[in-house]
A and B are shown apart, each in its own frame.
Chain A
Amino acid sequence: MLYSVIGHYSLILGLCFGLILVYLSIKNFQNSKILNSKILSFTFLQFFFVVISFLCLVLSFILSDFSNETVFNNSHSTNPLLYKITGTWGNHEGSLLLWLFVLTLFILIFLIKTKNQPIRYKILTLIFQQIIIIGFFVFLIKTSNPFNYLYPIPKEGLGLNPILQDPALAIHPPILYLGYVGSSIIFSSALAATTLNMVSKKWASHVKKWVLISWFFLTIGILLGSIWAYYELGWGGFWFWDPVENVSLMPWLALTTLLHCILVLEKRLILTSWVIILSISTFTLSMCGTFLVRSGILNSVHTFANDPERGLFILIFLFSLIFISLFIFFFFHKTNNNNLSNLFWLSKETSIVINNWFMMYFLSVVLIGTIYPIFLDVLSAQKISVGPPFYHKLIIPFLIPFLLFMTIGPKLKWIKSNLDDKIYLITLLITSILLSLLIVKNFDSGFLINTILISSAFYLFFITLRDFFTKKYTNISQNIAHFGFSLLILSILFNNLFSTEIITNLKVGQTFESSKTKIIFESIDQKKEKNYKSIIGNFSIQNLQGKLENLSPELRIYNQPNIVTSEADIKTTFISDKFIVINLVPNQDYFNVRYQVKPFMLWIWLSVVLISVGGLMSFFRKEYEK
């Protein structure tokens, strides 16, 4: 109870500091020889109080303080300690504290670490960031207070949703937020730079570090979410084009595009307007996503508890930010003579422009697919669903030219280029095509498109691989990242083509036999844990070669809330995953068994790691690329 009080007042203090900071900053802006030292201290204090508030909530969870409404709604005394802690951010109010944490942390680091930039720029960035921070403080305190007091104090909590009781929950939200919320600093600094008309090569180098940090964490965050879904949700998929997944993908697409543009801006003073627009759009998409997920508009496995009042607040907040950015862009941005006509058609700048073109197309597909049902529902009261088939049909055909451009683009020089290595380019192209033909010829569905798609992916794969080994790359981080991307596409394609599945109903002791596999339902064990009981099925799977594998999927019956979850047993190797899941069939004495063989799953995860490593390497490089 004491912690709730401390936490609550820390929030109020944080808000006050925000207001003071805006005031001080405006004053400092007018006579800005040096940065007022109070500004730095107050920024630190604001961060400090957010941390205190956050810790208070964590402590309330650990101590199972059910007088706190958030703890009551999301915890139970029999929850394991880890999930008491991680339950802090597994709900709407707690995750907003995480938002504030990242927002205040990033501006603090920004102020400390930014050297060699004008004082006025730092102050203005602070002001814009504070607008966002104050908005969130008000949102938190007024509509989503994590420290609401319940009286009479309940004896027990409602428990944490079992799907969230997983180690991945510990890290997925914080890491995702470092990327997602971290794009706020790019937003604020872009607005500041536009106002002061200092969008230049120097600014690009400076902001590139922030773009890389945000991008890195967002990539890993999305990866963790997919891994979590794969292991935890029991259906063997890792991406479902669910609205909440899309909502994290959209800032990622904008951020990746921005990253490429910053590279151009660093070298040549063109595309300045576009860089500003992308910087603004990334965070706007994050805010838009927050709105969609927390307002109750969307149906999804991931949505938080719905509350239209909160939705209204975020909506107004979001559009205020949009209007402020529009205003600043149109009134302060001076477009100098930096149009495209200065580019030679066969150059690296052009290939990055083309990359932008495709990325914006992909972004529009995801955006339209996600919000179109909402629009249609409001305008004509018709409900439709937009699911994976839509996204696949619109994205996959465009991936082919995209992959080809990704292969050729990095080989071009700045300003003007003629292609070297023509022989290698052509031989590897032919190799790729032949290889894909060999692989795809056994399937009759989608033969043509699969062949071309796999060929393009292989092409990128071989070219980047060859460049790596012959050290013919100009930029190693980009080489690794693009190689990772080709590996990702190839892994996903092969996983799709070669996955097999057997669905059958089995009683204990029964066997299922097909021409290639034998599934023996050996026995059942029962187990009792702290907050759930479990039924474990023991299976032996035998393949053609006679090799035996033992898999034990689990059914967990949680006590509070009373939910049954299915925990898959997955055996992972570099070649494939063997995935098995059982489900109760009501009123019957047999179980429904689903067994899948999924090739290359591990490579899907590893390729994303590889892509992020590329970005990370870029962050740590000191010297310019050639």
Chain B
Amino acid sequence: MKNKLLLLSLTSIFIIFFIIFYKSLQETNIYTPDEKINNEIPSFKVQLFYSNNVVNSSEIFNLDKFYLLNIWSSWCVPCRQEHPLLMDLMKNKKIKIIGINYKDTKKKAENFLLELGNPYDKIIFDKKGINAIELGAYGVPESFFIHNGKILKKIIGPLNKESIKEIKLLIK
């Protein structure tokens, strides 16, 4: 009798394990971090690219406007691929593009913009990469869709046509 009870409980435990493992297979386990939607923009000091002034991050983003915060570098290969999309998005009056130049030298960054165009309303100079971390970024390229002082969407990796489409829909 005791044996049968033990067998039954063990079997049920293993069935539960099976179900849990089965479910875990359904989700792809790449580095999909929580998207942390609707987080407020953290407040930290940044240095502007052209003027070299130091301002607070919150001063860059007005409420009621849409912003795309884009982290880029001259040495980042996928950044070159996404750049034309940014040039295209720049034409849309409803959204402003703010750039964070990540771990770069000013000279190389300027050359990059000369070559591919400058879609950025303002550029933050993040020489050490600290500003990107303050935002909770993983690396470069990465983009944040911001409105009302909140990060609404995080796009890890280069922008593609789908993400641009999504952004355009959201700003309507």
Interface residues of A (CB under 8 A from B): 291, 295-299, 306, 308, 311-312, 315, 319, 322-323, 326, 330, 374-375, 377-379, 383, 586-587
Contacts and interface: CB of A to CB of B under 8 A. Distances in A.
A587 B25 contact: no
Interface in B1-58: 3-4, 6-7, 10-11, 14, 17-18, 20-29, 31, 33-34
Nearest to B3: A330
Given A315-B25, A326-B7, A375-B20, A383 B34 contact: yes
A33 B33 CA distance: 63
Given A298-B29, A326-B14, A587 B21 contact: no
Contact of A323 (B4, B14, B24, B103): B14
A375 B19 CA distance: 10
B23 A299 contact: no
22 contacts: A296-B25, A299-B31, A306-B28, A306-B29, A308-B26, A308-B28, A315-B21, A315-B22, A315-B25, A319-B14, A319-B17, A323-B14, A326-B10, A326-B14, A330-B3, A330-B7, A374-B24, A377-B27, A383-B33, A586-B75, A587-B103, A587-B104
B123 to A, nearest CB: 17
Contacts of B104: 587
Nearest to B4: A330
B108 interface: yes
Given A586-B103, A587-B75, A297 B29 contact: yes
Interface residues of B, number: 27
B70 to A, nearest CB: 19
A451 to B, nearest CB: 40
A295 B23 CA distance: 12
B140 to A, nearest CB: 10
Interface of B: 3-4, 6-7, 10-11, 14, 17-18, 20-29, 31, 33-34, 75, 103-105, 108
B24 A377 contact: yes
A296 B20 contact: no
Nearest to A331: B7
Nearest to A295: B25
Given A374-B24, A383-B34, 20 more contacts: A295-B25, A296-B25, A296-B28, A298-B29, A311-B25, A312-B22, A312-B25, A315-B18, A315-B22, A319-B14, A323-B11, A326-B11, A330-B6, A374-B20, A375-B20, A378-B20, A383-B33, A587-B103, A587-B104, A587-B108
Contacts of A379: 20
Nearest to A303: B29
A323 B10 CA distance: 10
Contacts of B108: 587
Contacts of B14: 319, 322-323, 326
Contacts of A586: 75, 103
A291 B21 CA distance: 10
